[in-house]
Structure 1
Amino acid sequence: MTTDRKTEASLWHRLLETRLTRRSALGGAAAAAAAVSLPLTISSAEAVSNNGGPSTVDPQKVTPRATPPFRAIGVTTADAVTLPAGYRAQVLAPWGEVFTEGGREIGFNHDYVGFFPIDLLQGGTSSTEALLTINHEYVNPMFVGGDTKNRTPAQIRAEMEAVGVSVVRVKKEGREWRIVPDARNRRIDALTEIELTGPARGSAAVRGATMVKGTVGNCSGGQTPWGTLLTCEENVDGYAKAWEGSGYDPMHQGWVTEIDPFTPGWTPKKRTAMGRFRHENVAVTVARDGRVVGYMGDDMQDACVYKFVSRGKYDPANRAANLNLLAEGDLYVANFGNGSWVLLDYDKNKKLQDAKGADGKPLFASQADVLADARASALAVGGTPVDRPEDIEIHPRTGEVYVALTNNSKHGNFFGQIVKFRENGDDWTATKFLWEVFAVGGPQSGFASPDNLVFDPYGNLWMVTDNSDLSTNPIKAFHGNNAMFFMPTEGPNAGKAYRFAVGPVDAEMTGPVWSPDGKTLFLAIQHPGEDSESLDKLRSNFGARAGSNVPRPTLVAIEGFPGWRA
């Protein structure tokens, strides 16, 4: 790390120690210009609401809430999904449930959930029938009958089949959601054939590959305006040893993979132009000039925030052309020290050409090399290392970009924070931005370790937490189990956290997504009972089958919301 990089890192952590006011963060003439432009007029509202999914609400015609639409609940360590009075959760699509004609089962450890209305390609926004896409991040071998020290080929194959993505058709009948038969119900797993696109395709950086096996480490994701899933590959390196002998190659993972849930015959694509790192999610929107923009975080300590801008432009009338939009584009890394986006382009950025490793040898020889190790590229050009950038989402009313920074024990940040920034001129393709702290975790705010984010159609922020090993973590004293919070984004309570839901023992609640009418919230329950010593000493039984006490990751559909009114 150079002196300049040390200075920037020090500045970043020092600024986060004190909550900045909007006035101090957005200072001078730039602040005045930003204030005049509020609220942002968004021509394609559906592209930036509900994690990129559709909404039946025009965000410019609703008023954000100053208080939550529920009575906040307290801290609990119960082995259940705990909700306020008047709300209920239905278990849906648990691990192991058969849902395809060929007998495939729902995968393990649900994460991101995408809601694709069944009539989306016809211009519809059904809130009662959809294709859901469910990410499956990793497996807990103990619960699938495995031995982490002596994996057999059969166990390795079972694990490879349990990760990836499930595409599941669901329908609401009366008060209940259920899985319904559909030829589009399917699994994309660690054995599925996937095509590489973009600059790294066929390069030495990916061992010359153009087609690779599988998608793994599927954490969060995003939805495109043309109705595809972007599933993000996060923690991918550890599988090389766990799946030794399977042909697994970590250089073929760590990308953003695009999947068309409506077309089983469409080969999934790994979009190498979007870079290789520990992808948490992609927040997708369409800029005023028609280019597609995706915001991404690299989920590890002292890693960076990125932005991808497509070369081509979105055409609402040409889905076939849109399916190729993410193959080419420019990747940028955020420098929070001066509020700029730095281009990661080998031919245009001399710092990348001159970058050398500890051995004195060049780090990169081509754009493929730059993208295949985007983290090293980002640090080489002055990207600011931050505190585990997990989910990033775009405010449907203002166009501001919110970033969940989960925590960073390296710098004594155990509680995390949420920051937000506004692009210069309210242009998502801009190369300058202004940022501020939105909320800080800790006993004073009642939450710690913000993870996934989602906006409701009013422009209110909902956030779930990622506190690991709460059985021994001192955070448990004020936080209890991992929880979901409602957070107003405007008015006197902006940034205040109201506890809406609490998950089972050891579980994270992940992948929140709304039905377009805002009446159903889908929420994944990941790794309940993960810290159990053995099957004889289980800490959780959440989601267990009848006659079994083994906990199961699952999806829950939460009802009781009044819906949204203009």
Structure 2
Amino acid sequence: MMDRPEWIGARPRVNGFQEVELYCTLTNNNRRGTTPVSVNAADGSTAGGGARPPVDAANARANNVHGGVIRWREDGRSVRATTFTWDTFVQAGDTQTTRAPLPTNDFRGNIVDNPNGSADYGAPDGLWFDDFGRMWVQTDSGAGTGDFINLGMDQMVCVNPSTKETKRFLTACPQAEVTGVTMSPDGKTMWVGLQHPGDAASDPTNPEQFSRWPHSQWNLASDGVTPLNPGRPRSGVVVITKNDGGIIGT
């Protein structure tokens, strides 16, 4: 059992890269390495809600609250390969955490960024490569509380798969998962999905308890005078371009 695998992305063969290499986000698993250890049924299945798998080579951290990304490379540079090599590409985490470390988990991760801690993230979910070879990772951590208090709201980071250098690209509105991304062929326009903003609201009479997005982005009608009425937060898609009209990620 893996730690909640989500998206899989194939690194494109560009800029001299010729391998067949794939990446998969493992969002998290706070029951990894806890007791009593769960046992699979005879057919190999297990109840996901009660599983307590032990630490293993591919899931090396107990109480893996922040998740990570695993990758594998097909032998012989062929999609027909029946063997491959693999490694843990990155362990997500919080460099400012005050949690006591475990023997297999310091909760800080090993994200490569500069300055250190500037691109901390947890609960990686979406993963996508653009046509230029950059990897984009989107998170689904929730309300930015608890183990994610220092990480803020969900976000999208850009990663150089050769050096592992990571930079935060955007941060979502409150309690919105960042999910889904694509680009125009020229790389100058990007579309990013924001899902269920403010979803922790529990009072049906106050749907804007935690978020007013996208209404919070504008309060006036197109005439610039008429006030818009408040409304419940909605999922949506944002369009991103650079001020200089250049390729996003450069």
CA contact 1:447–1:497 (8 Å) conserved in 2? no
**Alignment map for 1:101-116 (pairs within 5 Å):** none
Structure 2 spans left out of the alignment, 5+ residues: 14-18, 33-62, 96-110, 112-119, 220-227
Distance 1:525 1:458 in 2: 24
**Alignment map for 1:433-448 (pairs within 5 Å):** 433-444=84-95, 445=111, 446-448=120-122
Distance 2:69 2:147 in 1: 21
**Alignment map for 1:482-497 (pairs within 5 Å):** 482-490=154-162, 494-497=163-166
Q: Which residue of 2 aligns with 1:277?
A: none
- Report the AA paired with residue 416 of structure 1: G
Q: What SS does the corresponding residue of 1:439 show, helix, strand or coil?
A: strand
Q: Which residue of 2 aligns with 1:463?
A: 137
Distance 2:147 2:174 in 1: 15
Structure with greater proportional helix content: 1
**CA offsets per residue over residues 160-218 of structure 1, 9 Å max, x none?**
xxxxxxxxxxxxxxxxxxxxxxxxxxxxxxxxxxxxxxxxxxxxxxxxxxxxxxxxxxx
- The CA deviation at 1:437 is 1.3
- The CA deviation at 1:390 is 0.4
**Alignment map for 1:238-387 (pairs within 5 Å):** 385-387=1-3
- The CA deviation at 1:563 is 2.4
Q: Which residue of 2 aligns with 1:549?
A: 231
Distance 1:530 1:436 in 2: 35
Q: Which has the higher contact order (CA 8 A, sep 6+)?
A: 1
Distance 2:7 2:176 in 1: 18
CA contact 2:75–2:84 (8 Å) conserved in 1? yes
Q: Which residue of 2 aligns with 1:403?
A: 24
Distance 1:524 1:410 in 2: 29
1:481 aligns with 2:165: no
Root-mean-square deviation over aligned CA pairs: 1.7
Q: Which residue of 2 aligns with 1:363?
A: none
**Alignment map for 1:7-18 (pairs within 5 Å):** none
1:425 aligns with 2:76: yes
- Report the AA paired with residue 213 of structure 2: F
- The CA deviation at 1:457 is 2.2
- The CA deviation at 1:497 is 2.1
CA contact 1:407–1:413 (8 Å) conserved in 2? yes
Distance 1:496 1:467 in 2: 21
Q: What SS does the corresponding residue of 1:404 show, helix, strand or coil?
A: strand
Structure 1 spans left out of the alignment, 5+ residues: 1-384
**Alignment map for 1:191-202 (pairs within 5 Å):** none
CA contact 2:68–2:123 (8 Å) conserved in 1? yes
Give the TM-score normalised by the residue count of structure 1: 0.30
- Report the AA paired with residue 448 of structure 1: G
- The CA deviation at 1:469 is 3.5
1:394 aligns with 2:65: no
**Ranges of 4+ aligned residues in structure 1 off by more than 3 Å:** none
- The CA deviation at 1:387 is 0.8
Distance 1:399 1:557 in 2: 31
CA contact 2:20–2:78 (8 Å) conserved in 1? no
1:503 aligns with 2:172: yes
- The CA deviation at 1:473 is 2.2
Distance 2:140 2:84 in 1: 28
Q: What SS does the corresponding residue of 2:64 show, helix, strand or coil?
A: coil
- The CA deviation at 1:562 is 1.3
- Structure 1 vs Structure 2: percent identity of aligned residues? 33
CA contact 2:11–2:133 (8 Å) conserved in 1? yes
- Report the AA paired with residue 185 of structure 2: P
Match of 1:526 among 183, 195, 203: 195
- The CA deviation at 1:518 is 0.6
Give the TM-score normalised by the residue count of structure 2: 0.66
Distance 1:549 1:448 in 2: 30
CA contact 2:177–2:194 (8 Å) conserved in 1? yes
Greater Rg by CA: 1
Distance 1:496 1:439 in 2: 11
- The CA deviation at 1:476 is 1.8
Distance 1:408 1:505 in 2: 23
1:562 aligns with 2:246: yes
